[in-house]
């Protein structure tokens, strides 16, 4: 009888331990699923604000890549926006938007002092690889143009090779055909904080993809460019091969410390603008000369 009670006790202990192990396994699976779930509805996926703020050591490039010549003393704040003025340059204030911002009152945005908008045309899914439209693209580009803003566009790329990048560019060209653009068409490739078909992308292929996209856009008569943060500018993209195109830098600091020349500076991702209900990326564009 004593042996039987001991056996029953051991059985209960084993069952309890099994239950604990099973519960831990279920919890781990649930946490993993939460971390992996991600739908690219805006530019927040794959963007790490800390990365845009963290100083990155510059690399040595050939002297053919122009240096950052903006005077830190020329940056100032006015009306809720960063601004820049020098002897020969006036910067324009802008936002970049996608379906993440949802409905936008563009007349109110313009009245708030915003001069240009970079609007997402679409994106390539990072798991299946299908090209998808931005649900608010038409509404945004028509609203921004009607409000008198200068307009450019960007496409969130997850191209694996040059042909996919060309396909993305051709998709963009088809979507922007009804509109005139005064700002560039941008290739936007970012890291994804989840399992992605582009895991393991190397810098050589990434640069080839950017060139293929930009060349296709340029051949159609538009200005083309590449979006990157400091790390991608220093370590991933070959800037010497891309210097014929517009550089759009993401660096969230008081003044840009990036060593090389760029034409658009995205300086924060938590801006507030009348007419936009959510946080929004704020930018300065150095694309117009002072008269």
pLDDT in tens, 117-130: 999 999 999 888 99
For residue 167, what are the domain limits? 49-289
The gap from C-alpha 85 to its chain's centroid, in whole angstroms, comes to 26
Residues in contact with 245: Cβ distance below 8 Å, sequence separation at least 6, in sequence order: 184, 210, 214, 218, 223, 224, 225, 226
**3-state helix/strand/coil string of 172-192:** HHHHHCCCCCCCCEEEEECCC
Q: Angle at Cα 36 formed by Cα 31 and Cα 40, nearest 5°?
A: 140
In-domain check, residue 179: yes
Q: Are residues 67 and 138 in the same domain?
A: yes
Q: Is 18 left (phi over 0), alpha (psi -120 to 50) or beta?
A: alpha
Q: Are residues 188 and 222 in the same domain?
A: yes
Phi and psi for 202 in degrees, rounded to 5?
A: -95, 160
Q: Are residues 30 and 134 in the same domain?
A: no
Q: Are residues 153 and 221 in the same domain?
A: yes
Q: Are residues 20 and 55 in the same domain?
A: no
Neighbouring CB atoms inside 10 A of 54's CB total 14
Provide the number of structural domains found in the chain: 2
pLDDT in tens, 10-19: 666 666 666 6
Q: What is the pLDDT of residue 58?
A: 55
Phi and psi for 84 in degrees, rounded to 5?
A: -145, 140
Q: Are residues 82 and 192 in the same domain?
A: yes
In-domain check, residue 44: no
Q: Which residues of the chain have pLDDT under 70?
A: 1-19, 21-63, 288-291
Q: What is the pLDDT of residue 13?
A: 65
Given the DSSP bridges, would you call strands 75-78 and 81-84 parallel, antiparallel or unpaired? antiparallel
8 A C-beta contact, residue 168 and residue 131: yes
Q: Are residues 103 and 7 in the same domain?
A: no
Q: Are residues 81 and 180 in the same domain?
A: yes
Q: Are residues 75 and 22 in the same domain?
A: no
pTM: 0.80
Separation CA 266–CA 255 (nearest Å): 11
Q: Which two tokens stand for residue 221?
A: 């008569």
Q: Are residues 161 and 265 in the same domain?
A: yes
CATH of the domain at 137: 3.20.20.80
In-domain check, residue 156: yes
Q: What is the pLDDT of residue 11?
A: 62
């Amino acid at each position: 009888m004593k042996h039987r009670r001991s056996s029953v006790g051991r059985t209960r202990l084993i069952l309890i331990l099994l239950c604990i192990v099973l519960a831990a396994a279920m919890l781990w699976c649930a946490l993993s699923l939460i971390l992996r779930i991600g739908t690219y509805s805006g530019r927040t996926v794959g963007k790490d604000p800390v990365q845009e703020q963290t100083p990155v050591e510059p690399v040595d490039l050939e002297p053919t890549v122009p240096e950052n010549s903006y005077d830190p003393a020329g940056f100032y704040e006015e009306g809720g926006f960063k601004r820049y003025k020098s002897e020969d340059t006036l910067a324009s204030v802008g936002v970049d938007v996608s379906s993440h911002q949802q409905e936008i009152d563009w007349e109110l945005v313009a009245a708030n002092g915003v001069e240009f908008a970079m609007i997402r045309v679409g994106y390539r899914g990072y798991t299946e690889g299908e090209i998808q439209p931005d649900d608010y693209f038409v509404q945004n580009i028509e609203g921004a143009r009607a409000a008198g803003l200068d307009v450019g566009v960007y496409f969130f790329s997850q191209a694996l090779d040059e042909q996919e990048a060309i396909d993305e560019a051709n998709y963009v060209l088809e979507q922007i055909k009804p509109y005139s653009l005064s700002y560039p068409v941008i290739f936007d490739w970012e890291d994804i904080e989840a399992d992605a078909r582009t895991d393991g992308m190397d810098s050589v292929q990434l640069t080839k993809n950017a060139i293929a996209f930009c060349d296709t856009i340029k051949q159609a008569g538009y200005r083309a460019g590449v979006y990157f943060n400091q790390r991608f500018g220093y370590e991933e993209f070959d800037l010497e091969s891309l210097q014929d195109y517009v550089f759009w830098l993401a660096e969230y600091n008081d003044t840009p410390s990036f060593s090389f020349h760029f034409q658009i500076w995205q300086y924060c991702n938590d801006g507030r603008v009348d007419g936009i209900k959510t946080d929004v990326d704020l930018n300065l564009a150095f694309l117009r000369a002072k008269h």
